[in-house]
Amino acid sequence: MRATLFVTILTLLLIPAPSLADEAILRDYIPSGVITRFENPVEYWIGGEDRLEGTYYVDTVVSELRGILPRLAFREVSSRNQANVRIYLTDSSEEWQAVVTSSAEGAAGWQELGQYIRGFTRLVASPTGAIRRADIVLHLDFQTSGGQKLWIVRHEFMHALGVMAHPKATPDSVLNSMQAQEDKNGRFSQSDILVLRTMYDPRLPAGGTW
């Protein structure tokens, strides 16, 4: 018992405390300070009328995330019911609105929040901070360039992986919706990567803090 307690204390002491700068970034992304994340592999399903073209952008971003979070497995599955991340790719404004309403429970009262926003994510998580499911709806045809399409997929995946806020003090984040439409071409920033790697650090628990 005493040896187990010693090992636990030693492990906690070996987790590097974030610097003041890192702490400010983490609070900007996650104001509550509470980690919400997947505890199991991400099994994602891609469906919708725009699936054939849109799959390229999803696959590109998933490949980037595998490099950022090598301990978190990402696997595409063929069954919607098997998936814990369900991605709907729409190709018209009418389908976009219909899919948003039908794919996520409680979204019937959802309304478009801006002329150029065509992404929506809803999480279902346990009280302990483990994500059970994420629904992502994307209208990529509305974006005017490949870079913008990748940006919006990165943005929604950040939400799906547990960052539901939009940071206000980190302008280079893919979660910065205040950027002009023509500037939404950025890759995951160093701040984005810091936050994701902190959230998915195996030494930290879901529902805990850094």
Measured in whole angstroms, how far is the alpha carbon of residue 62 from the centre of its chain? 11
User: What is the overall mean pLDDT for the chain?
Assistant: 83
* pLDDT tens digits, 20-31: 669 999 999 999
Positive/negative CA dihedral, 31, 36, 41, 47: negative
Q: How confident is the model at residue 8 (pLDDT cuts 50, 70, 90)?
A: very low
Looking at residue 179, its pLDDT comes to 67
Q: What single letter denotes the amino acid at residue 169? A: A
Report which of residues 14 and 166 the model is more confident about.
Answer: 166
- Residue 49, judged by CB atoms within 10 A of its CB (0-12, 13-18, 19+), counts as middle
Please tell me which residue, 107 or 53, carries the higher pLDDT value. Answer: 53
Task: Assign 51 to helix, strand or coil.
Answer: helix
Q: Which residues pair with 89 in a beta bridge?
A: 138
CA–CA dist 100, 60 (Å, integer): 23
When pLDDT is cut at 50, 70 and 90, the band that residue 81 belongs to is very high
CB burial of residue 50 (10 Å; 0-12, 13-18, 19+): buried
DSSP character at residue 49: T
Q: Where does 2-199 sit in CATH, by number?
A: 3.40.390.10
Least confident span in 84-98, 125-139, 160-174 = 84-98
pLDDT tens-digit profile of 154-187? 999 999 999 999 999 988 899 987 766 666 667 9
Q: What pTM does this model have? A: 0.84
What are the distances in angstroms from CA 39 to CA 73, 86, 123, 175, 195?
Answer: 10, 17, 14, 23, 16
Q: Find the mean pLDDT for residues 1-14.
A: 46
Q: How does residue 118 score in pLDDT terms, banded at 50, 70 and 90?
A: confident
Split at pLDDT 50, 70, 90, the class of 10 is: very low
pLDDT higher than threshold 80 for residue 72 = yes
